[in-house]
Amino acid sequence: MNVEVRSPLVVPPFASSVTVALNSAITPIAEVPPELHRAAPSRQREYVAGRYCAARAIGRLRPSDVPLTIGRGVAGEPQWPAGFTGSLTHTDGLASAAVARIFDARSIGIDSEVRVDTWRAERIRPLVMQQDETGIGGEALDAGTRVMLVFSAKEAIFKCLYPVVSRRFYYEDARIISADATTGVFVAELLTTLAPGFERGTVLQGRFEIDDRHVHTGVWLEPHRP
């Protein structure tokens, strides 16, 4: 039985979000692709769960003639049906999808990460954080949550921008400027020019939510206007 749980509130109301508990049996919506046949059962389960969430999310938005198929790109990224954009994430215990029509959002990115203790945070911090990010969120965030918020926010930014800029970039190519635990809003800045319209200094805004176990983030781009 598929156990759907409340989706994190990190995307705008026009987006359709579906989240499932990975400890439940997930009805396959898509077959595991050949490149994942040798993957660990847990990785195959995450793939199936993500595609299930995506299909459910699209189904809530689509006209009846839009297919539910979500393809897989050469870099493993989801390929959405025409007229839609979206993002997938999975972590220990959860898989989620968020989908929007392209006249509502040009692109969207979500991410969820498990909160960690201070010891593990210190091991992760040098990989994902810059010195001026170490005080993000102030006293409202403990060290472990702060590291995973920065980590998750940059992952969401990558997922949102990659389909638009068509190039990989890394943790050092963006920095989180601020994160307000009261409003659940974070602000980020690109430190590298990625493409026209996404030059160094471009400011992005996203949302985050923290629960007992996870940090969740979401970022989206406004649609092109005529």
Give 35-82 as a DSSP string. Answer: GGTTS-HHHHHHHHHHHHHHHHHHHTTS-TTS----EE-TTS-EEPPT
The pLDDT-based confidence of 93 (bands split at 50, 70, 90) is: confident
User: For position 120, what pLDDT does the model report?
Assistant: 93
More confident residue, 217 or 76: 217
Residue range 212-220: average pLDDT? Answer: 96
Tokens of residue 202, six digits: 């471009």
Residues 6+ positions from 72 with CB-CB distance below 8 Å: 33, 78, 79
Alpha helices for 73-214 (secondary structure H): 118-128, 143-165
Residue 219, in any domain of the structure: no
Residue 199, in any domain of the structure: yes
pLDDT tens figures, 181-209: 999 999 999 999 999 999 999 999 999 99
SS3 category, 119: helix
| Shared-domain flag, residues 81 and 165 | no
User: For position 149, what pLDDT does the model report?
Assistant: 97
Residue range 27-38: average pLDDT? Answer: 65
Residue range 63-86: average pLDDT? Answer: 78
Tokens of residue 204, six digits: 């992005």
| Shared-domain flag, residues 183 and 165 | yes
| Shared-domain flag, residues 177 and 122 | yes
Q: Which of 61, 84, 105 is the last residue of a domain?
A: 105
Residue 223, in any domain of the structure: no
Bridge partners of 108, per DSSP, are: 220
User: For position 29, what pLDDT does the model report?
Assistant: 58
Distance CA 183, CA 109 (A): 19
Quote the mean pLDDT of the chain: 89
The pLDDT-based confidence of 3 (bands split at 50, 70, 90) is: confident
Distances in whole angstroms, Cα of residue 78 to Cα of each of 67, 72, 98, 169? 14, 5, 12, 18
Residue 185, in any domain of the structure: yes
The pLDDT-based confidence of 59 (bands split at 50, 70, 90) is: confident
- Going by C-alpha positions, the residue among 113, 107, 182, 186 that lies closest to residue 152 is 113
Residue range 129-156: average pLDDT? Answer: 94
Number of domains in the chain: 2
Distance CA 190, CA 223 (A): 19
Residue 45, in any domain of the structure: yes
| Shared-domain flag, residues 90 and 142 | no
| Shared-domain flag, residues 19 and 99 | yes
Checking if the pLDDT of 83 tops 80, the result is yes
Checking if the pLDDT of 1 tops 80, the result is no
User: Count of alpha carbons within 13 Å of 16, Cβ hemisphere only?
Assistant: 16
More confident residue, 67 or 123: 123
User: For position 63, what pLDDT does the model report?
Assistant: 63
Give the domain extent around 131.
Answer: 114-212
